[in-house]
Amino acid sequence: MFDFTGKTVLVTGATGALGTALSTQFALAGANTVVAARTGAGDLAASLDGPALGVRLDVTSESDWAAAITAAEDRFGPVDVLVNNAAYLRVGTTESIALDEFRRVLDTNLTGALLGIRAVAPSMRKAGGGAIVNINSVAGLTAAPGLVAYSSSKWALRGLMRAAAKELARDGIRVNAVHPGIIGTPLAYDPDGNEIVPVGDFAIPRQASPEEIADFTLFAASDQARFATGTELLADGGFLLGPVA
């Protein structure tokens, strides 16, 4: 359905469950796939079907971002697509969460995306434009008790997306967001293995597969979405509708 032949796509948090699905589907769509993660990037890149490069990236590090963009350009040329997928989650209420954990969540989920947009924009200008997709969450659209740090970071990420979309529009760079519901990944469970948000009362009473969310992301990054910027795509299984009676 989607054709990214000849386009260079950088995916952060690429070795997690959703990141692996994203990297795999971009590769199958013909992209030059840059797999960016703190660990395991080289192994995943080697397993993909098509041109791929693994780079080590801590999204909170400006120097790591600079090195990742340089490596991508040296191998494939300017970056056409950035998917800000890396995320960190810690359970905790407004009163209970440790301050260092709150800051770490914001540093990864919000500052990491800011640094990514800042690092990739000059490369996309060389390409004549590009697409940035931030993986957000339903936690950025509604109250998320017990997930105060994660929810705060995702609400703030919406503001970053809109500001960047306006600032970069005249350079042909689109900035959009995908808001998944509950995905069947480790982030959906607490340390004891319990669902953080039970899904049995949803309109679609199951967790999404990573591949389903990847489909939304590929659309947002593709030329089929070329008239969209500053837009939020919701894939939540009816979460925001509330429980089915």
Judge contact between 231 and 219, C-beta under 8 A. Answer: no
Spatial distance between the Cα atoms of 232 and 33, rounded to a whole number of angstroms: 24
Tell me 16's DSSP state: S
**Residue 150 designated active-site:** yes
| Torsion angles phi and psi, residue 242, rounded to 5 | 90, 175
Here the contacts of 68-72 (C-beta below 8 Å, separation 24 or greater) are 68/10, 68/34, 68/36, 68/119, 69/10, 69/119, 69/120, 69/123, 71/34, 72/8, 72/10, 72/34, 72/123
Catalytic one of 150, 202, 216, 239: 150
Per-residue burial over 178-205, b if 16 or more Cβ lie within 10 Å, else e, is bbbbbbbbebbeeeeeeebbebeebeee
Q: Which residues are catalytic?
A: 150
